[in-house]
Amino acid sequence: MTTNTKINIAGLDFDWEVENGRFLFEGVDSVLFWIPTAMKSFFDTIEEISGTDASQVVFETTGYRQGLAVGDYFENMKNVSVEEAARLITNTYASAGWGRSEIENLNLEEKTVTIKLTDSWEQKINKAQGKNYETNYIPAHYAGVFSSLFGTNIWYRVKFYQIEGNDHTLVEYFPSDITINDNIHDLSRRKENEKILQLEAIVEDKTRDLKELIKEISSPIIPVYEGVVVIPLIGKYDEERADELITKTLSNLPSYSVRFIILDLTGLNKDINSYTASVIDKIGAASKLIGTEMLLVGMSPELSMVITQEGLSLSKVDCFQTLQHGIYYALGQMGRKII
């Protein structure tokens, strides 16, 4: 059994050292993989872990950077023109199973070139994955190759893909300010924006839940005796919260057969605004329409100043220092007292 074999195909050397587990391509350690199974699994794993957008940038970045290395190698060969280097590279890749690459419209002055890719290993992997699009490792790879050969940054534009039903994939190359680093940064910004949007959505959901909770627990109607209810005003009121309180109060008061409604202002914070005064005024006016008298307890100096500045008149509303005094008064007006 022969364990060491060396052959030359199209001027390229292939060496097998089976005893040492080595395969050499042009004297360099290489490996062989089955495209529709092993390489497909490799691509699948990267995309599963990284996600579609990130894996595309990974393939593109890797292809480009490896292309730079290949271009540097051929550029450093003595007495080899750009045209000859391009021909050697495509022949080398064809012998390595990369598919057929045809160089067209190579313009050294404008530093542009067009490449037709037919039956590339990347296209075969994407087809085995069941995709209707191709990844861009090989197109980006040639961008790296020609960036080295032309001595300037080259980028690419895929006109169409073979996997879309065409005979080949057609790629145009041209000088550009676009770089791999730009794409990496763009991906990072997209990921950051996605995370921000996710966090904003979470905050919005939590805010909505909190508002619903506040609606349930804020300013409850507390019946303390037959005909007497207490409504504690708590926190800061804006237009929405003020309207909700008024609607809730007027909708529920008739079910209690209320004669006296006591607004407890003790829990209002010092950040009092015009909506706070408006709530008191509107509840008082609406209460009269349904035959209910409003009492105020726990009025602070700050709130009294706001009420005065708003031009609201509470001269006909009885005010008490504490909730206890207000309840005693309401019971007394109904001919009752606490024993």
- 40-91 residue pLDDT tens: 998 889 888 888 878 888 888 889 999 999 888 887 776 788 899 898 888 8
pTM: 0.57
- List the chain domain ranges: 1-32, 34-178, 219-333
DSSP 166: -
Quote the CA–CA distance of 140 and 146 in Å, as a whole number: 10
DSSP 334: T
Q: What is the pLDDT of residue 154?
A: 94
Q: What is the pLDDT of residue 178?
A: 80
Integer Rg of the chain from CA: 40
CB 321 within 8 A of CB 297: yes
Domains 34-178 and 219-333 share a fold: no
Q: What is the pLDDT of residue 271?
A: 62
Architecture of domain 219-333 in CATH?
2-Layer Sandwich (3.30)
Per-residue pLDDT tens, the chain, 339 aa: give them.
567 788 888 777 889 888 888 888 888 888 888 888 888 998 889 888 888 878 888 888 889 999 999 888 887 776 788 899 898 888 888 888 899 999 999 999 999 999 999 999 999 999 999 988 889 999 999 999 999 999 999 999 999 999 999 999 999 999 998 887 776 666 566 666 666 667 777 777 877 777 776 666 666 788 888 889 998 887 777 777 778 888 887 777 777 788 899 989 887 756 677 777 778 888 888 888 888 899 999 888 887 887 788 777 777 788 898 899 999 999 998 888 777
Q: What is the pLDDT of residue 189?
A: 65
Quote the CA–CA distance of 129 and 163 in Å, as a whole number: 11
Quote the CA–CA distance of 220 and 234 in Å, as a whole number: 10
Q: To 10 degrees, what angle do helices 274-289 and 239-252 make?
A: 20
Quote the CA–CA distance of 288 and 259 in Å, as a whole number: 10
CB 101 within 8 A of CB 115: yes
DSSP 94: H
Does CATH place domain 34-178 in 1.10.274.10? no
